[in-house]
Chain A
Amino acid sequence: MIDRATPVLVQGMTGRAGRMHTRLMRAYGTNIVAGVSPRPEPVDGVPVFASCAEAVAATGATASVAFVGADALLGAIRDALGAGITLIVTPTEGMPVHDALAALAAVRAAGARWIGASTPGMAVPGEAKLGFLPEVALAPGPVGIMSKSGTLSYEVGYRLVQRGLGQSVWVGVGGDPVKGTRYADLLPFFAADARTRALVIIGEIGGSEEEELAAALGAARFAKPVFALVAGRSAREGVTMGHAGAMVHGSVGSWASKQTALEAAGARVFGAVADLVDAVVAAA
């Protein structure tokens, strides 16, 4: 997916978040080759261009991380796709859903991969990270992680690392209902990835993404052990708690629905972090 050689550009590099995360990603080892901003002045010696097309032409970047506002995100994704970027990570929270629909259509037409929005990003520990997964929770190892929630995945990753289990690839798919990459989309990757020996899914109530994953697990005869943590078991119907996607309507998206589907597909489902961590460690 990515490694330490992958040339990465940062959209919105000259903003507050763009500058800070550029510095932190470079410190981790990510090969940041360019920035994009309407104010094209270099940041920490990295050249900044007015558009993705100019940045790609000058540097050969293939991946992008976008630190732009929610109202500018659709435009930033189109700019990246137009320049031939094949992997776009968008941490921005609050992207309007109808904008996400338009972005998804554009990403599919271009044959690119989009991770986000509303994601802390992704990492291949020891190689590179795109976004801001915290270093205290990152270590190379055998566990693949896919998560809707940033902080909850930090908690799980941190406790697994304390118990000696790091990650092969960690992807925050994000908490929005319409998004670039869903759990099920990554299943073929994790099935084929030799570094990954177990898969940890960090989910929450709302939507049908866990159920889609369950269907894909069955269809693909996924052979690696799957452990799922699902938050929101005690939430009320009709109330959004932080994530736009985390709202239950009737039985759709309920904790019980996700548990039933995932267990039928052979996954183990947990309602507490410590229980999941113990089970993953015991199986390793």
Chain B
Amino acid sequence: MYLLEHDAKVLAALFDIPAPPGALFGEALPPGPWVVKGQVAAGGRGKAGAIRKAADVAELEGHARAIAAMSVRGQPVRAVRIEQNVGPTHEAYVALLLEPASGAVRVLMSGSGGVDVEHQAGLRAELAPLDALDDAVRRAGDGLPPALTGAGLRLARMFRACEALLIEINPLFIRADGSWLAGDMKLITDDNALYRQPALRALVERAGAAYPEVRLKLDHGFDYVVVDPEGDIGLLTTGAGLSMMLIDELRARGLKPYNFLDVRTGGMRGDPTRLIRVLEWIAAGPNIRVVLVNIFAGITHLGEFARLLLQARAAVPQLTVPFVVRLVGTAFEEAEQILGAAGIAVTTELEQAVAQL
């Protein structure tokens, strides 16, 4: 999960990683002057105008309201952080980044920060396994201002403790006296480890609206994302890759899918609750005109699935649109008969189903 800057900084404070005094807009203000920062899990906030300076409270409130209404790279601003503008400092860069191919962590440091720091000539890079991170931080920081090694060692501790995939401070503010602060912070943690990360779990439970996909997975055990609130095709699909591909293909044909879903038919065990939940969410889409069901199941008994689907449909009477159903797997004929009796035609070929949308 890609944490909002504010949440990352609050978490980092537990690891003695300081940031400029800050609070969410609406809470008690830190001392001015200020930087008003839109909170969104995407890069490019500065260029998009979602980070602005303010000298007085009227200016601050104007910026905060404007930024709160923005989107950056297609994502709505979830909150606004008001932070004290700590004035001119030296800016540096430090990051720890998991490298899946090598199974190790990359330590990156530079004596100067900035938006394109990853491409700078002076960038230091060291690769180390998780249990030798501290030595890699010391090697990378050798000859650079001591603040970089100091920050890097605390980041290494946080990286292990939070089971992070990426932590980046850019810029790292270094004051004349050598003390340092995290100017900006990017933190990506492992959703799979959430069950044993109480601080992160509490964050998702507290600020769930900012992390809707993670919250949903935590609460329901499957993945669902509204990909286009204006979309008119609800998807009841299983399998992450196939569902993603289906969205691509529908869009390439000029169609407008509403949601992504990996419903995991294998985990339903005779209970329609999960399907009911999904159909309720789809029914909430203002433009839904059809539901496409696509289940390619190696194991799932399609007869059972068909019965559950009809139970779920009956439980969501507000969803009155037609269903287009494509099924492959065990007991197809039984499913075809059950759904056919309810007036729903079934095909085994996805292209045929898509042609009916």
- A177 pairs with B240, CB closer than 8 A: no
Residue A75 interfacial (CB < 8 Å): no
- B299 pairs with A274, CB closer than 8 A: no
How far does the Cβ of B160 sit from chain A's closest Cβ, in whole Å? 8
- A151 pairs with B296, CB closer than 8 A: yes
Residue A87 interfacial (CB < 8 Å): no
> Which B residues are within 8 Å of any A CB, using their own CB?
1-2, 41-43, 73-75, 98, 100-101, 103-104, 129-130, 160, 163, 165-166, 188, 190-193, 195-196, 213, 223, 225, 227, 238-245, 247-249, 251-252, 260, 262, 296-299, 328-329, 350-351
- B240 pairs with A243, CB closer than 8 A: yes
- B43 pairs with A250, CB closer than 8 A: yes
Interface stretch among A6-14, A97-105, A189-197?
Answer: A97-105
Give me 12 other A-B pairs in contact (C-beta within 8 A), A133-B298, A242-B223, A245-B100 excluded: A24-B299, A136-B298, A154-B296, A175-B240, A177-B165, A240-B191, A241-B223, A241-B244, A242-B262, A243-B240, A249-B188, A271-B252
A-B contacts, CB under 8 A, total: 180
CA distance A96 to B189 in the complex (A): 10
Find B100's partner among A151, A207, A235 (CB 8 Å cutoff): A207
Residue A179 interfacial (CB < 8 Å): yes
- B193 pairs with A97, CB closer than 8 A: yes
Find A70's partner among B1, B42, B192, B299 (CB 8 Å cutoff): B192
Residue A50 interfacial (CB < 8 Å): no
How far does the Cβ of B100 sit from chain A's closest Cβ, in whole Å? 4
- A151 pairs with B101, CB closer than 8 A: no
- B244 pairs with A96, CB closer than 8 A: no
- B103 pairs with A105, CB closer than 8 A: yes
| Binary per-residue interface labels of chain A (169-188) against chain B in the complex, 1 for a CB within 8 Å, 0 otherwise | 00000010111001000000
Query: Could you show 19 A-B contacts with beta carbons less than 8 Å apart?
Result: A96-B196, A97-B98, A104-B103, A132-B298, A149-B244, A178-B103, A179-B100, A204-B244, A205-B244, A231-B248, A235-B244, A237-B73, A238-B41, A240-B213, A240-B223, A241-B223, A241-B225, A247-B2, A272-B248
Q: Which residues of A contact B299 (CB under 8 A)?
A: 20, 24, 132, 134
- B103 pairs with A202, CB closer than 8 A: no
- A236 pairs with B351, CB closer than 8 A: no
How far does the Cβ of A43 sit from chain B's closest Cβ, in whole Å? 17
> Which A residues are within 8 Å of any B CB, using their own CB?
20, 24, 70-71, 94-98, 101-102, 104-105, 108, 120, 132-137, 147-155, 158, 175, 177-179, 182, 202, 204-205, 207-209, 212, 229, 231-247, 249-250, 271-274
How far does the Cβ of A276 sit from chain B's closest Cβ, in whole Å? 10
Q: Which residues of B contact A205 (CB under 8 A)?
A: 244
> Interface of chain B, helix or strand or loop or mixed?
mixed
- B249 pairs with A244, CB closer than 8 A: no
Find A105's partner among B74, B129, B249 (CB 8 Å cutoff): B129
- A239 pairs with B213, CB closer than 8 A: yes
How far does the Cβ of B192 sit from chain A's closest Cβ, in whole Å? 5
How far does the Cβ of A177 sit from chain B's closest Cβ, in whole Å? 4
User: Quick one: closest B residue to A158, CB to CB?
Assistant: B328
- B195 pairs with A242, CB closer than 8 A: no
- B130 pairs with A151, CB closer than 8 A: no
Q: Which residues of A contact B244 (CB under 8 A)?
A: 149, 152, 204-205, 231-232, 235, 241-242, 246
- B192 pairs with A97, CB closer than 8 A: yes
CA distance A135 to B1 in the complex (A): 35
Q: Which 4 A-B pairs have the closest CB atoms?
A: A149-B241, A151-B239, A242-B240, A134-B298
How far does the Cβ of B271 sit from chain A's closest Cβ, in whole Å? 15
User: Quick one: closest B residue to A148, CB to CB?
Assistant: B241
- B329 pairs with A136, CB closer than 8 A: yes
CA distance A179 to B260 in the complex (A): 25
How far does the Cβ of B115 sit from chain A's closest Cβ, in whole Å? 11
Find B247's partner among A207, A229, A234 (CB 8 Å cutoff): A234
CA distance A179 to B2 in the complex (A): 21
Find A182's partner among B101, B242, B298 (CB 8 Å cutoff): B101
- A152 pairs with B242, CB closer than 8 A: yes
Q: Which residues of A contact B249 (CB under 8 A)?
A: 271-273
